[in-house]
Amino acid sequence: MASVRVELGSRSYDILIGSGLLRAPESFAGCARARASALVVSNTTVAPLYLETLSQALRGQFARVLHCVLPDGESYKDWRTLNQVFDTLLQERCDRRSVLFALGGGVVGDMTGFAAACYMRGVDFVQVPTTLLAQVDSSVGGKTGINHPAGKNMIGAFHQPRLVVADVDVLRTLPARELSAGLAEVIKHGAIADAGFFGWLEHNMPALRALDPQAVAHAVRRCCEIKADVVARDETESGARAMLNFGHTFGHAVEAAMGYGNWLHGEAVGAGMVVAAELSLAQGLIDADAARRLRALVQAAGLPLRVPQLPVARYLELMRVDKKAEAGEVRYVLLAGLGAALLRSLPDAAAAAALQAHGALAHAG
């Protein structure tokens, strides 16, 4: 087992990474409360696979282990579904000592964390991510929330978990499409922060797609180290943390435009990174070889290379809702070379040209 520390003073916590952690009670010893309730929040896909395993690990550490199983999918990341968690907490008379456990991917983690942030003005929660995307990205850093039809993750709160338990064994049941979606976030970490890791990914992508245990554990740990360092320096995304959104400005626009769930988050981010690399190239920040390598790695991960064909006006409208936008001006995370990133405001014409060069537009809007 490996451990990565997220240093946030009194709210610091550990990320545990390894095999067999889900069924080991000692994995959760740091959050045990003998006279309190544990509420495991999962979804209809993950619950049949792992709900009882986690519940068994928690029994004996909590007075009660309760369950709340949500429908699966990004389209359910909304107020109606979130209220199912609150309904369970209130019906079971859970108090401030209760601990919520998010057993699932990014949607379950974001919603459970948001419920924990709101219930009785804040209770503890633990992330137990079951997708690669959640293990390397969304379970770490305390971003919680739900979607709005006008924008992804626009309603939420920063609420750090007490603990993250990433059992790489659970990835064996992950569909190939979901695995590729997670690899988008892995690529992102190398592209913005570690050129050496990016090179390692170029050589080890086949092993990652084959779920080689050593390769997967290394990738998860390195991504968590990168993200933990960024979060420790900028918890609420006022500066450096925005770099973690490389590919997300275009990607979130794709998700909103196509309907949440039709494109997986990682698929949209993968194609979004390709557009962002084209924009970086057009701005003279990277050379053509860096853009080619990024594009090749996205393709090797089994991800789409092109965003959908939409009018430029629609992309710009959706990107102005992005959390990085200020006073209606879109700010883009661009590459300043492989392993480095920067945030830059650009005129609409620059984004339009990048999209057109990318071959993504059906017409000029």
Q: Quick one: tokens of 259?
A: 């309907």
160 and 197 housed in the same domain: no
Q: What is the mean pLDDT of residues 324-346?
A: 86
Same domain, 159 and 204: no
Measured distance CA(103)–CA(112) in Å, rounded: 9
Decide if 152 contacts 78 (C-beta within 8 A): no
If asked whether residues 50 and 102 sit together in one domain, one would say: yes
Rounded-to-integer distance, Cα 69 and Cα 90, Å: 15
Q: Is 189 a catalytic residue?
A: no
Going 322 to 255 to 315 to 331, the CA torsion angle's sign is: positive
Where do runs of H (alpha helix) occur along the chain? 47-58, 79-91, 106-118, 132-133, 176-193, 195-209, 213-233, 248-258, 265-282, 288-300, 312-319, 348-358
**Is 364 inside a domain boundary?**
no
- What is the model's pLDDT at position 28? 96
State whether 154 and 198 are in the same domain. Answer: no
**pLDDT tens digits for 110-122?**
999 999 999 999 9
Q: Tell me whether residue 342 is in a domain.
A: yes
Report the number of distinct structural domains present in the chain.
Answer: 2
Q: How far apart are CA 24 and CA 22, in angstroms?
A: 6
d(CA 184, CA 340): 17
Is-catalytic flag, 92? no
The dihedral built from the CA positions of residue 94, 95, 96 and 99, taken in this order, carries a sign that is negative
pLDDT tens for each residue of 152-170: 888 999 999 999 999 999 9
Per the prediction, the chain carries an average pLDDT of 93
Rg (CA), the chain: 20
Catalytic residue among 43, 74, 143, 235: 143
- The token duo for 227 is 């993200």
Do 246 and 117 lie in one domain? The reply is: no
Question: SS3 letters for 16-41?
Answer: EEECCCCCCHHHHHHHCEEEEEEEEE
Q: Catalytic one among 248, 323, 324, 358?
A: 248
Known catalytic residue at 59:
no
| Full residue range of the structural domain in which residue 60 is found | 2-173
Please indicate whether residue 324 is annotated as part of the active site: no
Within-domain flag for 363: no
Q: Considering 126, 158, 173, which residue would you say is the last residue of a domain?
A: 173
Catalytic residue among 237, 255, 267, 278: 237
Question: Are 106 and 188 within one domain?
Answer: no
pLDDT in tens, 276-321: 999 999 999 999 999 999 999 999 999 999 999 888 889 988 998 7
185 is an active site residue: yes
Clarify whether residues 211 and 353 are in a common domain: yes
- The candidate with the shortest Cα–Cα distance to 135, out of 219, 253, 47, is 219
Considering the domain architecture, whether residues 132 and 185 belong to the same structural domain is answered as no
| pLDDT tens-digit series, residues 3-45 | 999 999 999 999 999 999 999 999 999 898 888 999 999 999 9
Examine the fold and report which residue of 173, 202, 219 is the final residue of a domain before the chain moves on. 173
Domain harbouring 337, CATH code:
1.20.1090.10
- List the one residue out of 293, 283, 255 whose CA is nearest residue 347: 283
- Indicate if 252 belongs to the active site: yes
pTM here is 0.91
For residues 39 and 45, give the distance between their C-alpha atoms in angstroms, rounded to a whole number: 18
Q: Are residues 141 and 287 in the same domain?
A: no
Could you tell me if 149 and 62 lie in one domain?
Answer: yes
Examine the fold and report which residue of 152, 173, 194 is the final residue of a domain before the chain moves on: 173
218 in catalytic set: no
